[in-house]
Amino acid sequence: MIYTERISMVNKKFFWGASTSAFQVEGGFGQGGKGIATTDVRYVPEGVADNKIASDHYHHWKEDIKLMKDLGINLYRFSFNWTRIMGDGTNVNQKGLDFYNNIIDECLKFNITPFPTLYHFEMPQHLVDLFGGWKSRECIEAYTKYAEICFKEFGDRVKIWGTINEQMIAIAAKDLNGNHGVNDEQAVKDMYQMSYNMSLAEKRAIALFRTMVPDGKIGPINSMQVVYPASPSPEDIEATQYAKDFLQNCFLDMSVFGRYPLAYVNYLKEKGWYPKTEEEDKVILTENKPDLIGINYYSSTCIRTKKENDNDSKLPPFYRNDKFILEKNPHIMKTKWMEFGIDPKGLYLGMKDIYERYQLPMIVTENGLAYSDILENNKVHDDYRIDYLKKHIEQVEKFVQDGYPLIGYSTWSFIDLVSSHQGFSKRYGLVYVDRTDSDPKKCCRIPKDSYFWYKNMIKK
């Protein structure tokens, strides 16, 4: 399909949106037939909010969508909780389907395009107990079944879908995928097997999608890696090329071309980490190309070659291997919660690279600033967030003006939510949720200054 046909999916309108994910906003633990998710039973340090109440969107969803309408957005990017739709991963929960039907219908009532992601970091714990979750090929079946239920139930009204959010984080973070109790060597091996199984599951879902929602568009949500060489030395340039293969190309090449970068294949084989595959996988992997790529972007990083005395044990496994090591970019400003720094230009550069390699339309699905906001006199003056958004949106505008196929921008996040690992002390929302880590209070919603800024920006 050529680009102009693909872009017609959105009737040439630009999407201005806001994003959340189910396990970070919903709460509603144990309610409406929701099952136990990996994210419900993960370890959360004392004094940090868990996901059981979160932003209490489960009870505030109508009010939240009204706030979206008043904001003027025409896209809401969210995710389905697998465990709300299939509590144990096998049986369908009608109440869960009803919950999302209500959300979808309410959005459509206000001309807000619903854009769900099927898998955003949470999954039924039961499937982990049963067969180890994503480590097993059985998870491919389970995810495909879940996708089929979602396409059947919502596909008549939902036409734009994400398959998997940030595969890199989903495979590496044990607290999200439930792969606890294994040693480091095994964890790394499992990580590559999980990734392969996820890619296969994504393709199986896309194959189904083509028959069930033929007028819809679907694609992966990528954690965009903008990596600069730490120096012009040929070694650092080489390390940067490896980093690109291991941090991004291995996921997107698989999504789009159905194969891994050669350097990745060679390295995994050399280490004995190459995943188990089956001959017939090749067809399904190469045949089911996505329509678009979702872009999550927060910051850029630098890459250098690994030195012998490097102590990299604190870096997560995807940020280092024998071929490269990732570090902070000394040229960009850092803040407490944006520890890798703020680099608006990186958004442009990263998307340009992705377009040149994959030639697919893109949509920014996450981009935003974390801060410990302060509520004073019922107001939050978050000019620092406005500054971040303004600078990134300038790059978005330039990107579109330069002719690249970007179909929308959706900021992270619509309301404050439980950060993936730091609770509520770190906030991203346009709307303040009045609760603390230890006291959920009533979770009242208070639009921040950035909400009004975004509203005006969209209007213009």
Let me know if 308 is a catalytic residue: no
Task: Select from 348, 316, 391, 338 the least CA-distant residue to 226.
Answer: 348
- In the complex with ligand BG6, which residue's Cβ is closer, 15 or 121? 121
Residue 242 Cα distances to 250, 263, 295, 307, angstroms: 10, 7, 21, 15
Q: Mark 148-177 as b/e (b = at least 16 C-beta within 10 Å).
A: bbbbebbbeebbbbbbbbbbbbbbbbbbbb
**Least distance in Å: CB of 210 to ligand BG6?**
26
Let me know if 166 is a catalytic residue: yes
Number of H helices, E strands in the chain: 17, 14
Kindly give the pairing relationship between strand 75-79 and strand 431-434: unpaired
- In the complex with ligand BG6, which residue's Cβ is closer, 100 or 119? 119
Question: Any idea of the CA torsion for 30, 36, 42, 43, to the nearest 10 degrees?
Answer: 40
Please, which residues have CB within 8 angstroms of residue 261's CB and are 6 or more apart in sequence? 245, 249, 250, 253
- In the complex with ligand BG6, which residue's Cβ is closer, 305 or 410? 410
Kindly give the pairing relationship between strand 320-321 and strand 324-327: antiparallel
- In the complex with ligand BG6, which residue's Cβ is closer, 110 or 384? 384
3-class secondary structure, 139: helix
Q: Which residues bind ligand BG6 (CB under 6 A)?
A: 21, 24, 165-166, 169, 223, 296, 366, 370, 412, 419-421, 426
| Token pair listed for 415 | 């309301």
Q: Which member of 26, 122, 166, 202 is catalytic?
A: 166
- In the complex with ligand BG6, which residue's Cβ is closer, 112 or 370? 370
**Least distance in Å: CB of 370 to ligand BG6?**
5
**Least distance in Å: CB of 232 to ligand BG6?**
30
Q: How many beta carbons lie within 10 A of that of residue 328, not counting itself?
A: 15
**Least distance in Å: CB of 24 to ligand BG6?**
6
**Least distance in Å: CB of 412 to ligand BG6?**
6
Q: Which member of 106, 122, 202, 366 is catalytic?
A: 366
Active site residues: 166, 366
